[in-house]
Structure 1
């Protein structure tokens, strides 16, 4: 059974809706899931999980939401070598830096040594259409398969 932590920031509920779809898919795979809002998430807990997902909306012109800033900065104080992570979030294509928070978290996690799933899930607003819901489900399924392989490799 895979032990999964999902840390997220969601102001309007869009990122939380994406998170719910991912969570439901991972639970179908038998994953044990802990949800935590990013502003109360301790970076030191990340290495205790088989898989860590960070979900965030993007504020303004590509900024991290204020409630995610401290967590982002705290990542500089943790060694994530061996950690397996994924990133997702919501945004608005009207802004030039669409879903930039997702990119920022992915880059920071990699910088700290984490192995980050190359597919970054970015949804405009909330997953309202059947296609967007399926995109979230497919992301969760692909992420799970990838993480399973990475865990096998890391345990050799």
Structure 2
């Protein structure tokens, strides 16, 4: 089984949680590849069983501009056998916490096999780390 991670990170928080999930998947025997969104070639997605998307939320619930092409791609391309997860970081200071995760749900739900989402406040803490095995289980079951 092969997993693809695609992420964007402004402060390092999203990268940190993606790195943690990646390490857990590697230790469970799943082959992984991690891409910054700017380095992703969409053609490669067909060679993966799992896709984990990591994004921060900009301001009050806004999807970062660099993630818009991924949103647009999954709004028009059907990949029903691709099992997906969305992981987002955000700040509860804003009224729409991790709104970028919620924006990505619809196209992924319609065009992939969306299995799980996870929201993390700021930098991942121990309470977030313990959720990682459940996220992986939900994604790979």
Aligned length: 141
Instruction: Name the counterpart of 1:135.
Output: 131
The equivalent of 1:154 in structure 2 is none
Asked whether 1:13 is paired with 2:12, we answer: yes
Contact preservation (8 Å) 2:88, 2:98: yes
Q: What residue in structure 1 maps to residue 91 of structure 2?
A: 92
CA distance in 2, matches of 1:106, 1:13: 23
Q: Is the 8 A contact 2:7 2:14 kept in 1?
A: yes
The worse-fitting range, judged by mean Cα deviation, of 54-63 and 39-48 is: 39-48
Q: Which has the higher strand share?
A: 2
Q: Radius of gyration: which is bigger?
A: 1
Q: How does 1:25-36 map to 2 (within 5 A)?
A: 25-36=24-35
TM-score (norm 2): 0.90
Please list every run of 5 or more consecutive structure 1 residues that lacks an aligned counterpart in the other structure.
Answer: 150-156
* Residues 121 and 136 in structure 1, CA contact (< 8 A), matched pair in contact too: no
Question: Residue 120 of structure 1: SS of its match in structure 2?
Answer: strand
Tell me whether 6-15 or 43-52 shows the greater mean CA deviation: 43-52
Asked if 1:124 corresponds to 2:121, the answer is: yes
Unaligned runs of 5+ in 2: none
CA distance in 1 between partners of 2:117 and 2:97 (Å): 12
CA-based RMSD of the aligned residues comes to: 1.6
1:61 alignment partner, SS class? coil
Partners of 2:84 and 2:56 in 1: how far apart? 17
State the TM-score, normalized to the length of structure 1. Answer: 0.82
